[in-house]
Amino acid sequence: MYHAYRSYSDSELAFLLTQDDEQAFTEIYNRFYGLLFIHASKRLNDDEEAKDVVQQLFESLWIKRSQVEPDGNLSAYLYTAIRNRILDVFSHQKVENKYVDSLQSFMDQDHILTDYRVREKQMAALIEQEIAALPPKMREIFVLSRKENKSHKEIAAELGLSELTVKTQVKKALRILKSRLGLFVYVAFLLKIHQ
């Protein structure tokens, strides 16, 4: 009985399909699956994706069998359907890629920013720690000079010291910080206090 279906034309099979004939559906599947798969695989460059697309097409064909034109061109109908599904895959991939790209770029920026902030905080804490470790008088002079931006003359007047003493203490403090903090952190610190 089933062998007879192989001799049916596409339009005969399409008509039987609209009549809920499962054997007609099976024959359509056997007749077109390979060709549609090759077509989809060439376009998508992905056999698994192609299999899924063709499988979905046949599922949809069975669900919408009553809508098939019984006297229409079955192969043209199937090729149009597969082409539309392939285009759907492409547009979905585009949207997905766009989303992934923008998410990645956002995450990269966020990571860089967070990383920078963390390091900046760590660096600031390290500098504060080293300033706190300076001898008391030197620390006082240094804080007035670098944090309050006072001149050597102003500091000398405020603390009752000679300008030379202030200048020497500031130089010594910078030398100590440079040796303890390393050149990179020291330079970053200098840039920061001059901003």
pLDDT band at 191 (very low <50, low <70, confident <90, very high): low
Q: What is the pLDDT of residue 101?
A: 65
Q: Which residues, at least 6 apart from 47, have a Cβ–Cβ distance to it below 8 Å?
A: 41
Buried-exposed string 92-108: b where 16+ CB fall within 10 A, e elsewhere = eeeeeeeeeeeeeeeee
Integer Cα distance of 36 and 115 in angstroms: 51
pLDDT band at 4 (very low <50, low <70, confident <90, very high): confident
Residue listed under structure tokens 């759907």: 88
Higher pLDDT, 153 or 102: 153
Q: Which residues, at least 6 apart from 26, have a Cβ–Cβ distance to it below 8 Å?
A: 2, 5
Q: Has residue 23 got a pLDDT over 90?
A: yes
Q: What is the pLDDT of residue 194?
A: 47
Q: Does domain 3-98 fall into CATH 3.30.70.20? A: no
78: burial class by Cβ within 10 Å (0-12, 13-18, 19+)?
A: buried
Q: What is the pLDDT of residue 94?
A: 72
Second CATH level (architecture) for the domain 133-193? Orthogonal Bundle (1.10)
Compute, in degrees rounded to 10, the torsion defined by CA atoms 171, 174, 175, 177.
160
* Interval 137-146 mean pLDDT: 85
Give tens-digit pLDDT for 155-175: 899 889 898 998 888 888 878
Mutual orientation of helices 74-132 and 22-44 as an angle, nearest 10°?
50
**Segments making up each domain of the chain, as ranges:** 3-98, 133-193
Q: How many CB atoms lie within 10 A of CB 146?
A: 19
Q: How many CB atoms lie within 10 A of CB 179?
A: 11
Mean pLDDT of the chain: 80
Give whichever of 33-37, 73-77, 97-101, 104-108 has the largest mean pLDDT: 33-37
CA atoms within 13 A on the CB side of 21: 17
Integer Cα distance of 94 and 99 in angstroms: 8
Range with lowest mean pLDDT among 15-24, 42-51, 114-123: 114-123
Higher pLDDT, 153 or 110: 153
Integer Cα distance of 66 and 16 in angstroms: 10
